[in-house]
Amino acid sequence: MNSIKPFVQRVLHFFLLIALTHSARAGEITMEGNYQLKNIFVMNATASIGQGFCISEILVNGLPIKDDFNVLSFEIDLSVYKMNHGDPVRVIIKHQDGCTPKILNPGALKPIPTFTIVDIQCTNSGLLKWSTTGEKGGIPFIIQQYKWNRWVALGEVFGKGTDGLNEYQFQATLHSGLNKLRVVQYGSDEEPRKSLSCQANNSIDPIAMRYDKKQKTVFLTYPTSYELYDAYGQMIKNGTADKIDCSTMPKGDYLLNFDNSIQKFYRK
């Protein structure tokens, strides 16, 4: 009898170690964000033992969900938690070791653009001011300037994300002549939300470009932002400067975007 007891203890200890190891290796997927009036869609996986499903528990803000998740795909219905738009949400999906479920819409808790522009103005010195209402989450405002036949990003200001009146400003660098500026917000899976543009006039003289074939350098009358493209449309240089070294570039045609101009030159 005395020899059986230590044996049983060793067996129990062995299975306890297996259970602890399995628990330590089990995984979790965590989603954090704010309620965006959307549910979460999940693709389950077969358990590593080949029977049953991978997910063992799902918690929403610390509460286990009541819906059946022992299926191949399912929806986590967040509306049952009586949350308001923008309320914080934390979803934890616990799963077994050796298998991993997949969240099909991982951006479901990310804020979407909802702002309404109350006013937007830009001065001839390049100061852009705008005010909004109706924000439902902190999303960066991307400031864009129309030049080179497209909208170009200049910088960003992080949105306050509150529903009341919010005011912002950004100092833009204007090109010569008439400038158009606007702000844009991008969501996780929504179309970008854009403001109307405002206009500012910069009375400086247009920047002139000259290519010096001996020095293999592009000279500009004063520093400006630029983009340099090869004949295949690949951007090879960009920045802000009043001269651009082309000595290491192969011979051929190039396109230079600068100031509010687009000009072609040949590197000899």
Residue 21 has pLDDT above 50, yes or no: no
pLDDT at 105 over 70: yes
Among 24-33, 37-46, 232-241, name the one with the lowest average pLDDT.
Answer: 24-33
Phi-psi region of 168 (alpha: psi -120 to 50; beta: other; left: phi over 0): beta
Report pLDDT digits (tens) over 224-258.
999 999 999 999 999 999 999 999 999 999 999 99
> Same domain for 236 and 261?
yes
126 in the same domain as 188: yes
The answer to whether 152 touches 190, Cβ cutoff 8 Å, is: no
Count: domains in the chain: 3
The pTM of this model reads 0.73
Residues 121 and 196 reside in one and the same domain: yes
Last residue of a domain, one of 103, 136, 156: 103
Domain shared by 75 and 136, yes or no = no
Same domain, 40 and 122: no
Place of tokens 């995984």: 27
The token pair that represents 85 in the structure block: 């738009």
DSSP 104-151: S-TTTTS-----EEEEEEE-TT-EEEEEEE---S--EEEEEEEETTEE
- Do 22 and 62 belong together in one domain? yes
pLDDT digits (tens, 9 = 90+) for 59-104: 999 999 988 899 999 999 999 999 988 889 999 999 999 999 999 9
Question: Which domain CATH number covers 258?
Answer: 2.60.40.3080
- Final residue belonging to a domain, choices 71, 103, 135: 103
Note whether residue 110 is domain-resident.
no
pLDDT at 183: 98
Query: CATH number of the domain that 193 lies in?
Result: 2.60.40.10
In the prediction, which pLDDT does 79 show? 93
> Whole domain around residue 144: which residue ranges?
116-202
14 & 60 share domain:
yes
> Is the pLDDT at 123 greater than 80, yes or no?
yes
| Interatomic CA distance for residues 72 and 44, integer angstroms | 5
For the chain, percent of residues with pLDDT exceeding 70: 89
Same-domain check for residues 99 and 29: yes
* Domain end among 202, 233, 250: 202
Higher per-residue confidence, 163 vs 148: 148
Same domain, 8 and 94: yes
pLDDT of residue 48: 81
Would residue 71 count as lying in a domain?
yes
The greatest distance separating any two alpha carbons of the chain, rounded to the nearest whole angstrom, comes to 103
Residues 91 and 144 occupy one common structural domain: no
Q: What is the mean pLDDT of the chain?
A: 89
pLDDT surpasses 70 at 209: yes
Residue 163 counted as domain residue: yes
